Amino acid sequence: MDFRHIKSTLERAGVNFQPGLSSAEVKAAEDRFSLAFPDDLREFLMFALPSGERFPNWRNPEDPEIARALGWPLEGIWFDVQQNGFWPAEWGTKPDDESAAYEVIRKRVAAAPKLIPIIGHRYMPDRPAKRGNPVFSVYQTDIIHYGSDLENYLHNEFYHYFGTPPHRIGETRTIEFWSSFVE
């Protein structure tokens, strides 16, 4: 991935950047949230840190917006369970008790790869912690692929500034739990 080209293109799109994270800052964020940045995301964040209201401020792991963004996928699933009757058959019989139903969902989400916020409601799973994880658009249980990997996602999200139509997503790595929403 050509980080310089991507950064300059995103700057044309109005994205601001701070200097990239240090190894210590990456470790602090990973430790604070018990996650592992996939290699391509880690390298990008160490090259240049996107900043602004829709981007997580990984330099400050105590920022409450990061915790809020990390909790968004669980909140969205719970909303659809409560308001829209969402309950996949593979989860078994839905408990009658709301707190028991919530606990089933909480445990499933806790066991799944963590979704790392990239920008807004776009997320990348932390497992496997290697290059090539898909980027998901997550809005309640409306979860779709928005990129087959970080570079594909950035081209799709900011395609107008790259001067190209959105890239075909193509095959994506299957991610435990989260890919079942896309299918």
**160: buried, middle or exposed (CB in 10 Å: 19+, 13-18, 0-12)?**
exposed
| Distance (Å) of CA 177 to CA 18, 21, 26, 147, 183 | 33, 30, 26, 17, 11
How far is Cα 28 from Cα 32, in angstroms, rounded to an integer? 6
Return the pLDDT at 55.
96
How confident is the prediction along the chain (183 residues), in pLDDT tens digits per residue?
899 999 999 999 999 999 999 999 999 999 999 999 999 999 999 999 999 889 999 999 999 999 999 999 999 999 999 999 999 999 999 999 999 999 999 999 999 999 999 999 999 999 999 999 999 999 999 999 999 999 999 999 999 999 888 888 889 999 999 999 997
CATH fold of the domain at 3-52+63-182: SMI1/KNR4-like (3.40.1580)
How far is Cα 99 from Cα 90, in angstroms, rounded to an integer? 19
Return the pLDDT at 133.
98
Backbone angles phi, psi at 153, to 5 degrees: -60, -50
- Domain spans of the chain, in order of start: 3-52+63-182
Return the pLDDT at 164.
85
Task: Give which of 178, 138, 173 is closest to 152, Cα–Cα.
Answer: 173
Bond prior to 38 in cis (omega within 30° of 0) = no
